[in-house]
Each structure stands twice: as C-alpha cells, then as structure tokens.
A and B are shown apart, each in its own frame.
Chain A
Amino acid sequence: DAKTTQPTSMDCAEGRAANLPCNHSTISGNEYVYWYRQIHSQGPQYIIHGLKNNETNEMASLIITEDRKSSTLILPHATLRDTAVYYCIAEGAGYSTLTFGKGTMLLVSP
C-alpha cells in the first residue's frame, strides 16, 4: 500500500472551494486513490476514487496529476456540514484492511 501524506489542517470559508491535497509519490500502477471523510462521532463516508483520470461525482471532484504522485480533492462550494477529517488512501484491488492515516481536518467557517 502506498503511503500518503496530507496537511494536518485546513480552513475554508463557507461557499468557497475547498482544495485538499494529498501526496502519494510511491503509488504503484494498479493502486487507486480513494477519499473518505469522517464527521465527528459518525462513521466514515466514502467520497470518490480514481486511477489516473480526473473524476467528478455529486460530492466532489478528484484531480490526479499526470505522474500520479499527488492528487487534490475539490469540494466546489464548501458548507459548514463539510467540516470533517478527510482521508486520502491508495489501494489496489483485493481484500485488505482499510487503513486511514491522520488525514486533514477541514474547518469550514461562516
């Protein structure tokens, strides 16, 4: 499993885009980049994943660099309810434990 590095915390104003970076310089060719978040006292929530193309869903966009060594999760219009810890992981197919690092604490303020 590739190691990922994220900033410890970030701030964002409500209504603005939140851009959360993740470094995964040792990612291998068959490993996907996944993003999850966890709001305080709730279960983790799957957000999005991608291999090498940019991806978008109703929650967020995922931009992966061409060399796949880093990615950015974009919440286009952050709301107060987006305040959470965001986790980036890199995993291949198959069964293994889902392991979160320390993640980025995103605080969205009015």
Chain B
Amino acid sequence: DVKVTQSSRYLVKRTGEKVFLECVQDMDHENMFWYRQDPGLGLRLIYFSYDVKMKEKGDIPEGYSVSREKKERFSLILESASTNQTSMYLCASSFDRMYSYEQYFGPGTRLTVT
C-alpha cells in the first residue's frame, strides 16, 4: 500500500513564525503535491514537484515555499505565518506524469495560526 505521512496532524503557531510541514512517501513516486483545503473553497494546489530539486507553482503559491532534496520527501515552508494561512494542509504523491491524477494523500495537517 502507498503510504504518505505528514509530520504533524495538528499544529498551532503564532503569527510571524516560520513553519515547516514535512511529507514523506514510500512508493518511489516521481510527483509530489501540496494542497490546502478550506470549507467552501475546496482543494487548492500550492506547489508541486515532478522531480528532485524541481518545483512548480500551483494556484496559490504566495506566502509559501517548498523544498525537495530527496525523492521521498517534500517540505512546505511558511516563511512568516499569517492568520489567513490557518487551514488543512494535504500532501499527495503520484507515480508519474501519465498518472498524475492518481494521487495518494497523507492524513493532513490542521494548522492554526494565532
């Protein structure tokens, strides 16, 4: 079974703090994704990566950065957390470009910024 793990299920941070969210997948997938999910707004893509050290902006990259130093690990960084970044953050992975919509998600990190 594909396993995607995220570093925390719940996180509370203060405004202005730097926040690191980590995601690890164990299926040697090429692609990794970071989404946020908010009520009424659905799933929104922040960044994705199709190879080590490669990254592409999604629909809402402002205020976020990412790092992919190893194939299995994709990190999301909030440089200076703000209250409007309170959300559920979801990491996903997929095998390759052809199967990019067959995505396997982690359990999510519910981040609260106060």
The answer, yes or no, to whether A68 is at the interface (CB within 8 Å) is no
Residues of B within 8 A of A (CB): 4, 31, 33, 35, 42-45, 48, 50, 56, 58-59, 90, 92, 97-98, 100-108
- Are A95 and B97 touching (Cβ within 8 A)? yes
The residue of chain A having its C-beta at the shortest distance from the C-beta of B60 within the complex is: A97
**Cross-chain contact A49 with B105 (CB below 8 angstroms):** no
Contact, CB under 8 Å: B100 / A43: no
Nearest B residue to A97 by beta-carbon distance?
B45
Residues of B near A42 (CB, < 8 A) are: 107-108
Give the chain A neighbours of B108 by CB distance below 8 A. 41-43
Q: Which residue of B lies closest to A103 (CB)?
A: B42
**Which stretch in A4-12, A16-24, A75-83, A86-94 binds the other chain?**
A86-94
Q: For residue A88, give the distance in angstroms from its CB to the closest CB of chain B.
A: 12
28 contacts between A and B (CB under 8 A): A32-B101, A34-B102, A41-B108, A43-B4, A43-B90, A43-B108, A44-B103, A44-B105, A46-B102, A46-B103, A46-B105, A49-B102, A89-B101, A93-B97, A93-B98, A93-B100, A94-B97, A95-B48, A95-B56, A97-B43, A97-B45, A97-B58, A97-B59, A98-B33, A98-B43, A98-B92, A98-B103, A99-B42
CB distance from A90 to the nearest CB of B (A): 9
Nearest Cβ on chain A to B69's Cβ, whole angstroms: 21
Give bound CA distance, A45 to B92, whole Å: 10
Contacts of B48 in A (CB 8 A): 95
User: A89-B101, A95-B97, A98-B101 in contact; A43/B107 too (CB < 8 A)?
Assistant: yes
Contact B90 A91 (CB under 8 A): no
Tally chain A residues at the interface, Cβ within 8 Å: 19
Q: Taking the nearest CB of chain B, how far is it from the CB of A1, in angstroms?
A: 10
A3 to B31, CA, bound (A): 25
Chain A residues within an 8 Å CB radius of B97: 93-95
Interface residue from B33, B43, B92 paired with A99 (Cβ < 8 Å):
B43
